[in-house]
Amino acid sequence: MRNILVAGNWKMNGDSAANAALVESIVAGQPAAPNVEMLVCPPFPYLSAVGAAVAESRVQLGAQNVSQFDRGAYTGEVSAAMLVDLGCRFVIVGHSERRAMYGETSEVVAAKYAAVLEAGLTPILCVGETLEDREAGNTEAVVDEQLDAVLSESGADGIGRGVVAYEPVWAIGTGKTATPEQAQDVHRHLRSRIAAHDAGVAASTQILYGGSVNGDNAEGLFSMPDIDGGLVGGASLKAADFLAIADAASRV
Ligand code: PGA
């Protein structure tokens, strides 16, 4: 059976003092259930400090972005090897905010995904449609294009060494969660698309849901057969809210 992963994407929030308090409460309150994994993804400047704060716990450390390049004249960029150096285990790639605001194409995202694998880290590949895409009936076509770019770059084996996160853009930060059934439909579709390449990989790959996950809706989402946890933005910034989601995960 697949473990449930509850991942916090802090985005561009926090400061040293607030992070220390947040992570201390998360570590103290982490559910004991061995099948519930927790992950926090702070902004780059805080990776070291947050990494030190979770070091003795089961809470894992991840980054929100990475360069597709190894090293060199890329001002402002951070390589996967640097993230290894700082103790990261996971890296989010292709978040919709990066695709929409920083022009990351599926090709760039696939290159980042490959760089993360190459460094021995676990990429979390975000896919998801806009409201316009959904209303036009294009949800599957959009997520297929995003997934296929990574499948053709890294293969099914590469997908098997990562995590997929389905995040409908219309549900991110809006308070409008996809219903468990809406999310399950897309998760089932993604898993079957991976299964067309490798059924074993499809069965073992964690597929997270993201978009306004909170303590009230998490249990319904995580109870669906193809939903293996959540990528959580807003609710990951308050320890009580994030822990309520982890508690919901330990009940399913
Ligand atoms: P949200 O963000 O939980 O605030 O909707 C999720 C995400 O962007 O990963």
Centre of ligand 1 to C-alpha 185, Å, is 19
Return the residue whose CA atom lies nearest to atom 2 of ligand 1: 233
pTM score, two decimals?
A: 0.98
Shortest-distance atom of ligand 1 to CA 171: 5
Which pLDDT score is estimated for 1?
83
pLDDT for position 180: 98
Question: How many angstroms separate the CA atoms of 76 and 67, rounded?
Answer: 9
pLDDT confidence of residue 217: 97
3-state SS record for 192-212:
HHHHCCCHHHHHHCCEEEECC
d(CA 234, CA 252): 22
- Which residue from 244, 239, 238, 184 is spatially nearest to 214, judged by alpha carbons? 244
Report residues of the chain scoring pLDDT below 50: none
106-139: b (≥16 Cβ within 10 Å) or e: bebbbbbbbbbbebebbbbbbbbbbeebbeeeeb
For residue 59, the one-letter residue type is V
pLDDT tens per residue across span 216-233: 999 999 999 999 999 999
